[in-house]
Chains A and B, each alone.
Chain A
Amino acid sequence: MSKKINPLIIVTGLIIGIAAILLTKYGNPKNMGFCIACFIRDIAGTTKLHTAPVVQYLRPEIVGIVLGSSIMAFASGEWRAKGGSSPALRFILGFMVMIGALIFLGCPLRMVIRMGGGDLNAFVGLAGFVVGILIGVLFLKKGFELKRNYDTANLDGLVLPIVLIILFVLFMIAWPTLSKYVADVKAEVEGATNSTPFAISTSGPGSMHAPIIMALAFGLIVGVLAQKSRMCMVGGIRDIVLFKNFNLITGFVAVFVAVLVGNIVLGNFKGFSVQSQPIAHSSEIWNFLGMVIVGWGSCLLGGCPLRQLILSGEGNADSAITVIGMLVGAAFAHNFSLAGGADPGMVDGVYKVFELNANGKFAAICCLIALLIISVTNLNKVEE
């Protein structure tokens, strides 16, 4: 591969960083301006696939990203319905990537956003992420592959965008009732009821969100740019190791720089530290292992969670299955209490660190074993 850097990838990274800062300023949770895993988890919540009350909201960013990618792919003639590449394996890989991300508390994108917010735990996550990718690359070099895809029916490639549009329209119809319900609960109005089919957070991260139009718009912009630039958080590190190609990593760095500068400009930056970081924990072994799962799984899938959304928009039914795997993974993570949580913080003058429960630890170990089995059993020897 050439060593040329595509300026568009830097622009995409900067825009994602700026979007994250602005979306947080206008309502999204701290250091969570843009997180694919968190947003998909919230969608799983609002559709009642899980019932964790603090993470239920239909994040318009996700709808925007997929549609932005579709629009760009149609405009450039790149949209093509493809599918049939080991779909069940992709589903379970998406599922496990989500479990890993929710143990750490963030997808690779949020990891970088947390790094730019001064959260040192995210640097531990980065170390795990790199190790995961290195393991994945090792298997890629040994000939790991998910089988090839084929042309499929156009409708097959449109399923995810269409479902997201329908969900979004329904959510918009329900929105006046939902927002009145949230306001009533906050004002402690007696007998406040939510008569819509959607669940909605009245407190916690799910209740914190930027205006819908703004979130949708930034999603669309990021979708368009990421489709065109092929932005991928996993690809950045993978390509350096595989091909000594530094193109994709520049997007990764651009997100970090934009978020760091944005936080400093807005006065949010309080230096780098481990303790009391927003929606994060300092149980470092699980930060590390959570991101090993994300890096390894994403490397086998061929792209990070953001990239899976973009490919779904381009007509890739396998990536759509992966995204649905992530959605189901998020539901399991909360239904089975596998997800990480914030540090409890100062208790009786002592800083208390979040302790991942036995379910979460067991799930993480299972994911690592499953990744190893999938990696080893899908080797197609490369002829030397």
Chain B
Amino acid sequence: MVDARGYACPKPVLMTEAEINKTNADEIIVLVDNRTAENNVANFAMSKGYKVTHDREGRDFKLILKK
């Protein structure tokens, strides 16, 4: 689980990258609060071979990354 709410890019992508490197988990949930970060994290995850599901959590964005 990566909570990148409140951060602007490139931080959310770097946080996601660190989580992937650390856990190599098959499923990672990433929370962000702006659409730029939502798109950038999704694109990054896809380039790392994850499938991305987009969801909303209130005004924030929830990304579910699955291998």
Contact = CB atoms under 8 A, between A and B. Distances in A.
Interface residues of A, number: 27
Interface in B3-42: 5-11, 13-15, 18, 21-22, 33-36, 40
Interface of A is mostly: loop
Contact of A383 (B10, B13, B18, B35): B18
Contacts of B6: 82, 85, 148-150
B9 A302 contact: yes
Contacts of A148: 5-7
Contact of B13 (A149, A150, A243): A243
B2 to A, nearest CB: 11
Contacts of B33: 80, 82
Contact of B47 (A2, A150, A238, A239): A2
A382 B34 CA distance: 22
A78 B35 contact: yes
Nearest to A242: B10
B7 A1 contact: no
Contact of B21 (A82, A150, A235, A384): A384
Contacts of B11: 140, 145, 302
A230 B47 CA distance: 20
Classify the interface of chain B: helix, strand, loop or mixed.
helix
A145 B44 contact: no
A4 interface: yes
A235 B10 CA distance: 9
A19 B21 CA distance: 44
A382 B20 CA distance: 12
A302 B14 CA distance: 13
A3 interface: yes
A311 B34 CA distance: 11
Contacts of A78: 34-35
Given A2-B43, A3-B47, A80-B59, A238 B35 contact: no
B10 A4 contact: no
Contacts of B1: none
A140 B14 contact: yes
A124 to B, nearest CB: 27
A145 B18 CA distance: 14
Nearest to B8: A302
A148 B33 CA distance: 11
Contact of B34 (A2, A80, A140, A235): A80
Contacts of B34: 78, 80
Nearest to A4: B43
Contacts of B40: 1
Contact of A145 (B7, B21, B43): B7
A227 B31 CA distance: 22
A1 B22 CA distance: 18
* Among B22, B35, B46: residue with most chain A CB under 10 A: B35
A317 B60 CA distance: 18
A302 B13 CA distance: 13
Nearest to B10: A242
Interface in A295-314: 302-303, 311
28 contacts: A1-B43, A2-B43, A2-B44, A2-B46, A85-B6, A141-B14, A145-B7, A148-B5, A148-B6, A149-B7, A149-B8, A151-B59, A230-B36, A235-B9, A239-B10, A242-B10, A242-B14, A243-B13, A302-B9, A302-B11, A303-B8, A311-B8, A382-B15, A382-B18, A383-B18, A383-B22, A384-B18, A384-B22
8 closest pairs, A vs B, by CB? A148-B6, A2-B43, A1-B44, A1-B43, A302-B8, A149-B6, A382-B18, A2-B47
Interface of A: 1-4, 78, 80, 82, 85, 140-141, 145, 148-151, 230, 235, 238-239, 242-243, 302-303, 311, 382-384
Given A230-B36, A235-B10, A239-B10, 17 more contacts: A1-B13, A1-B40, A80-B33, A80-B34, A140-B10, A140-B14, A145-B7, A145-B11, A149-B6, A149-B7, A238-B10, A242-B13, A243-B10, A302-B9, A302-B11, A382-B14, A383-B18
